[in-house]
Structure 1
Amino acid sequence: MNNFFSPAEICENTIKGCNNKAKLPIGKMIILGIFAGVFIGFGAYGFTIILAGAGTGFEATFAKLVGAGVFPVGLMLVVLCGAELFTGNNLMTLSVFKKEITLGAMLRNWGVVWVANLIGSVLLAWLLSQSGLYGEAMTAKAIGIAEAKVAIPLFSVIIRAIFCNMLVVLAVWMQSGAKDIVSKIFAIWFPIMLFVLSGFEHSVANMFFIPMGIFCGANITWGQAFINNILPVTIGNIIGGALIVPIAYYYTYAKKSLN
């Protein structure tokens, strides 16, 4: 007996899971959305710790690889412990294409979860900024990450966001094919590690990174945080995670053939 599901079975299971997400009461969406923001923030915090201790050249590259290997803990917590993450929930378009949930139900989930993710991420960033854990190196790295993110040109940041959420939803897709927790962890780990190592842009992670930089003294306004990065990254994440991957897999695995 296989210890994993086929792609067609994964598609069916994913649609069922998305249907359940659409039915969640608002209160549960908010709580689980805040948790997801905190969980992704934990991964981002671990990533920052590793980069802050690195020098330049090969040492910096190796630190980025190690940091990218730590960051996936965030999505592991979201999937395995249970939370609502906006970028992962972009797969809900599969259920809309299948006409099993309405567009309004999907947008309701996305809106509530996006705001709740933001609350959780910013709250964690503020608490960590008050914790005494951010020494000189950590503070400098947090400021550098935030300022670099808001300086990315608009077209470039959207491209990076598209590729990012293609990998995120594929990680969610792959873990749905696993029948044991170890396989789920590995299915999540490698795609997320790849997107971090590649420098792609994740809207919820940036809800932690940029506020953290602001709290540490970065020369960034809240308007710049949203207009230069978080909002365009959200758009790019939707293109990659709610359109490109779901359209391809809906057509391949879920759409009824006319032949």
Structure 2
Amino acid sequence: MAQSRQLPAHKIIGSFLFSFGLFTIVQRGFALYTGKVGYIPENAPIYIIEVLVTLIGNAAGTAFAAVMLRQTRFSQALHEKADLCMTAKTSDTIISQLILGAFCGMLMYLAVDNAKESRKKNADMSFVFGISMPVMIFIICGFNHSIADAFYMFMAGAFPNDMPYILTVAAGNAIGGMLMPIVKKITSS
């Protein structure tokens, strides 16, 4: 008889809390790299600079958060978990890092685009679920999010050694995030 594997409760809770973070970002009009990068095909080339500035700003924000959290009683536990996380992620192949980043990018694009469409239609429940579900899926599946992983990198004290991984995942997030807008553009022509 096969044993069923249960999803750990902390993964479900963590995915829901992350979706609250994206909900807040979208609701307040803040900038998140993975929420912006998918819109490159729909904007003028100058928009790429805005996306890159957002990526740098997000990385700086994660570094700041890690530095602050290192000053708390949670420092050791967070450092250990972040170190385990980054060790697993950076030991993966580059192709796997890109693919897992691309799937995350697709889902992040869907979350932000769902929010935009729901706003147009004044559909509050669609707004909430349209953001929550893609985020929960990418976390539960274990896809790579460059900004979340940047936080883990700084928390693990793995900067600058793990920067190539972050850049690979950021590229994967971009590929996945731009995939649907490119397909929409091609099919609507």
Give the TM-score of the pair, scaled to structure 2: 0.87
The reply to whether residue 200 of structure 1 matches residue 146 of structure 2 is no
* Residue 58 to residue 134, structure 1, CA distance change in 2 (3 Å): farther
Question: Percent of aligned pairs with the same residue?
Answer: 29
Q: Give the equivalent residue in structure 2 for 1:158.
A: 98
- C-alpha displacement of 1:60: 6.6
Match of 1:107 among 42, 48, 52: 48
Aligned to 2:185: 250
Deviations 1:166-223 (A, max 9, x none): 0000111111121244431211001000001111001111111111111xxxxx4x23
Asked whether the 8 Å contact 2:42–2:181 carries over to 1, the reply is no
Q: Write out per-residue CA displacement over residues 76-125 of structure 1, whole angstroms, 9 at most, x where no aligned residue.
A: 111011211111111322424xxxx2x1x122111211111111111011
State how far apart, in whole Å, the 2-side matches of 1:157 and 1:142 are: 17
**CA root-mean-square deviation:** 2.0
In structure 2, the residue matched to 1:134 is 75
| Maintained 8 Å contact 1:147/1:213 | no
Runs of 5+ in structure 1 lacking a partner? 1-56, 215-219
Deviation at 1:153, TM superposition (A): 1.5
The reply on whether 1:234 has 2:175 as its aligned counterpart is: no
Aligned residues, how many? 183
SS at match of 1:71: helix
| Residue 209 in structure 1 maps to residue 180 in structure 2 | no
Q: Is the CA contact 2:38–2:105 (under 8 Å) kept in the aligned structure 1?
A: no
Superposition deviation, residue 149 in structure 1: 2.0
What is the identity, as a one-letter code, of the residue corresponding to 1:223?
A: P
Deviations along 1:137-186, one digit per CA (max 9) or x if unpaired, are: x4422221122222221111011001110000011111112124443121
Greater than 4 Å deviation, 4+ residue runs: 57-60
- What TM-score do you get using the length of structure 1 for normalisation? 0.65
Report the AA paired with residue 161 of structure 1. G
Q: In 1, distance between residues paired with 2:124 and 2:69?
A: 30
Superposition pairs for residues 49-198 of structure 1, below 5 Å? Answer: 61-96=8-43, 101=44, 103=45, 105-136=46-77, 138-178=78-118, 179-198=122-141
1:87 touches 1:169 (CA, 8 Å); kept in 2? Answer: yes
